[in-house]
Structure 1
Amino acid sequence: MEETLQNEDIEQDRRSLPPSPRSASSIRSLVRSIVSHRVGRSPSAGWEILQPYEVMKAVEEKDIIFLMEIRDKAFPLLLQSSGGETPLVHAIRTGNKDVAIVLLGAFSRWINYLEDADIQKPQTQSYLKTLRVGLKLAINEGLAKSQSDLIASFMQTLVMSEGDKWVYSQASTVSRALNAGTEGKPVRVAGDAVRRFATKELGKADLIASLEDYVANATADLLMFGAWANALQTIKGAPMPSYYFARDDRVYKAFTERLDAHKADIKRSCSRRLKWQLQVLRDGLEGRSITYRVCPHQLV
């Protein structure tokens, strides 16, 4: 029973990750990693004084079950450096890709489960800061090792860890670009914001398909955030939830629901340019998938 629950827990963490292409061989490798560690182990001196080297040893041995126990009982240790490396960076550097995916899933799950009240706590902010730094290092290391299918997942987790502040700040910048029309180059402004956010090294990844897919979707989401923010200058309505950002098609659904709910107000109160932009975004992004890579060219 315990083994079944642990395997289900691992599957839930895997589902917490943003979609990333997986080969048949990598899936088989992950299954072997799980099966080969059926019996969990305990830290040598108890959970209260678990040592960072024990976490690194679990990474090297691909002891996924033990890492999941650390997640539940001593989560901060998954963020702590040992020998100048975090467990995530160490997993990538040593080629333990399956462990890196499990760790990323654990981080994503932790962020998803944060309550609004918890985000403002100093301890939580400290963890988020450490997580952001570690993920940026992991992005650089992943690029160096050409493990490109993890980059989009790293990007999304970085955005999730940043919270409301970054999303709404960039949406405000994009809204001003939209107000300037095509001269404001809103698509470029939104795309540049996403690229700058992760790390200065991200420019080396221009040809990585999974990264370009993520950047395109995040760019489109920022455009919808910005356009709706402009609409709220003249009509009354609910803002776009920041936690929808770059998570499948949630932003588009929320965007179109708001357009439908406030159709009359938009027609009566919004400028001709804004009404055109809202319609272009609605039509241009309809039916997009998580790999949609083209923003409406009319807005460029």
Structure 2
Amino acid sequence: MASPGRSDDHSSTASSRFTFRDAVRSVQAAFGAQSSSASEQQNAYDPFPSQMHIEPIPAGGTSGEDPTSTQRQHFPHLSAAQLEKLFPLPDTPSGSSAKGPSKEEQAALRRRELVRATLAEMELNWKLDPLTLGERSDFNQGCAAIVELLSRVRVNEKDSDPLDYSPMGQQLSEEQKRRQAQQRADSLSSGSQTQKKGNAAFVRHWEPHDVLKAIDRQDHETLLMIRDQAMDLLLDLSTPGSGATSGSGSLRTPLGYSISLGPKWDATSIVICGALSKFVNSLPDDDEHIVASAGQKGESSATTKRRRGHKTQLDPRTMQRLRKLKVNLKLAIDSSIFKDQTNLLASYMQVLIMSEGLGWVADSTESVQRALENHIRGVSSGEGQVSSNPITVANDCVMHVSNAVGDLILAAFWQMVLLRPSEVAPEAKESMNPDLFSPIPGYIFARDDRVATQYRERIRELRRVLDEAKLRADEEEGRRQSRARTLSTTSRKSVAPSELDNESRPRSGSTSQQPTVQLSRNRNKRFLTQAEQLADELGTAFRTSSEQRLELIQRFLKL
């Protein structure tokens, strides 16, 4: 009797089996959180897909990354299509679509925006990681692992159908599914214009007083929404009746208004400054990277000089925005200095320097480079000539930021000693570090000690490559002299002339006799010596402040 009882119990359990989600729904219904109506249960909206699976990692890892290594080179990407599938809109047609999106649709769209902003913040932190000891921080590595896992999540197409979360776990019948699919298709075909109007209604029309109110309340989420939907309000509030102008009638920007409220609003000022930084980063890059790539490919110097200084032409509206952004930052710098709130000056100056473009960094580096060459050679500056004091030239280029002055000196030093394409054998270029041929990138300019770190690493690598080339040349010279000593006069007479010629002639097929790096004769070896000594000085004073690094450079140059 016990055995049939167990069989009946098992069959009844199999027929009424339901998941943990069904259990949660049952508890909510028991406490009145969910209506007991069957129609409401069928139309219940679940913000997440019901069934998902993880796509296996292909051979060789995703995007060429080693799956066994935690050190990634690039931040993983989550496409917009994947984000829409992970956070779907309600499948049932909204009854209030004529008035705009329903509450469920608004919640889903808001959820996507928050996730999209979070992913952008993660990627920004990844790019700005200082790479301490050559590794990214644990936080950035964890964020990359989470986003990589999300990028592998796949949602089945059938999961877009609404599910019945009743306690019994019964799915909708096939007839109900077909009816709802037909209803959705009819709604999409007949009300496309209404849906567009509903989506447009979801984008709020922001006013200047909304910005001021968000700053007063330190509502950073609202400021981020304004950044995405009405960036012009974060650049200029001087509209009639907005209350954004001071008593003297001068322009009062959102950033300046936040600074005027005191140090307690520093976090809000950082959010606004970050919005300005994101706008600058979204602008197209200058053509300086084309010039650098042309130099690496060995194009003529005349072509490079003709193209130098050329910048990407922006449309008039973007140029107006860029001018307003520079006014914002300059007023913020003046206000911060006047109020003795200098803790955010470096951030303001960083965005201001970024707004000038990479061409400004390249031109300033060349000016400092010429001053350095004159100083090391001992050439005094005459009237109408370039100054021989590189610190003065750097200060003329950048004001109020000491780490920018030091970075210009280091960038100019490296530009004097970097390898030229003609000094490296063609077969050795592929195996060598490409940083040895290119200037220090402008996007790390005036950012903490990144330029100093890059300078030290590149000088160390250049020294290693030159030492190996010199050692290889010395070994070859020693072997040649050893062969010459072993060939005595008597042995030379006994050797056939053809063999003697083959022995004395260098073997062109031997890679050991062809130097990988051979510095040109017109290169000033004193520049390289000074650059190596400066790198050693920076190595002993590693992790010092920007002011201390600048003083160290001044003492080294005896200025």
Normalized against structure 2, the TM-score is what?
A: 0.41
The reply to whether residue 151 of structure 1 matches residue 355 of structure 2 is no
* In structure 2, C-alpha distance between the alignment counterparts of 1:18 and 1:261, rounded to whole Å: 25
Aligned to 1:64: 220
Aligned to 2:336: 142
Contact 1:119–1:125, Cα closer than 8 Å, also in 2: no
Counterpart AA for 1:241:
P
Unaligned runs of 5+ in 2: 1-109, 131-200, 239-244, 246-250, 287-310, 381-387, 422-436, 467-516
- String of CA shifts for 1:136-171, please: whole Å, max 9, x gaps: 000111112211101111111111111112211211
Aligned to 2:275: 106
Aligned to 2:442: 242
Sort the Cα spacing of 1:116 and 1:48 in 2 relative to 1 into closer, same or farther, 3 A: farther
For the aligned residue pairs, the C-alpha RMSD in angstroms reads 3.5
CA drift of 1:277 comes to 2.6
Partner-residue secondary structure (3-state), 2:549: coil
The reply to whether residue 294 of structure 1 matches residue 294 of structure 2 is no
CA drift of 1:17 comes to 8.8
Sort the Cα spacing of 1:243 and 1:100 in 2 relative to 1 into closer, same or farther, 3 A: same
Partner-residue secondary structure (3-state), 1:116: coil
Count of matched residue positions in the alignment of Structure 1 and Structure 2: 256
The reply to whether residue 90 of structure 1 matches residue 260 of structure 2 is no
Aligned to 2:476: none
* In structure 2, C-alpha distance between the alignment counterparts of 1:244 and 1:185, rounded to whole Å: 24
Counterpart AA for 1:63:
D
Structure showing greater radius of gyration is 2
Structure with the largest fraction of helix? 1
Unaligned runs of 5+ in 1: 20-44, 196-201, 203-213
Sort the Cα spacing of 1:119 and 1:59 in 2 relative to 1 into closer, same or farther, 3 A: farther
Question: Among the aligned pairs, what percent are the same residue?
Answer: 35
* In structure 1, C-alpha distance between the alignment counterparts of 2:128 and 2:277, rounded to whole Å: 6
Contact 1:225–1:240, Cα closer than 8 Å, also in 2: yes
* In structure 1, C-alpha distance between the alignment counterparts of 2:526 and 2:119, rounded to whole Å: 49
* In structure 1, C-alpha distance between the alignment counterparts of 2:404 and 2:275, rounded to whole Å: 22
- String of CA shifts for 1:240-261, please: whole Å, max 9, x gaps: 2211211233323443454324
* In structure 2, C-alpha distance between the alignment counterparts of 1:13 and 1:105, rounded to whole Å: 14
Greater relative contact order, per chain length (Cα 8 Å cut-off, separation 6+): 1
Contact 1:156–1:246, Cα closer than 8 Å, also in 2: yes
Contact 1:175–1:227, Cα closer than 8 Å, also in 2: yes
The reply to whether residue 75 of structure 1 matches residue 244 of structure 2 is no
Contact 1:17–1:108, Cα closer than 8 Å, also in 2: no
- String of CA shifts for 1:248-277, please: whole Å, max 9, x gaps: 333234434543248435865531331133
Sort the Cα spacing of 1:9 and 1:130 in 2 relative to 1 into closer, same or farther, 3 A: farther
* In structure 2, C-alpha distance between the alignment counterparts of 1:60 and 1:6, rounded to whole Å: 26
CA drift of 1:180 comes to 0.9
Sort the Cα spacing of 1:48 and 1:5 in 2 relative to 1 into closer, same or farther, 3 A: closer
The reply to whether residue 189 of structure 1 matches residue 375 of structure 2 is no
Matched ranges for 1:1-300 at <5 A = 2=111, 5=115, 8=118, 47=203, 49-82=205-238, 83=245, 84-95=251-262, 96-116=265-285, 120-122=313-315, 123-181=317-375, 184-195=388-399, 202=400, 214-215=401-402, 217-231=403-417, 235-236=420-421, 237-259=437-459, 260-261=461-462, 263-264=465-466, 269=521, 270-286=523-539, 288-289=542-543, 291-292=545-546, 293-295=548-550, 296=553, 297-299=555-557, 300=559
* In structure 1, C-alpha distance between the alignment counterparts of 2:124 and 2:371, rounded to whole Å: 37
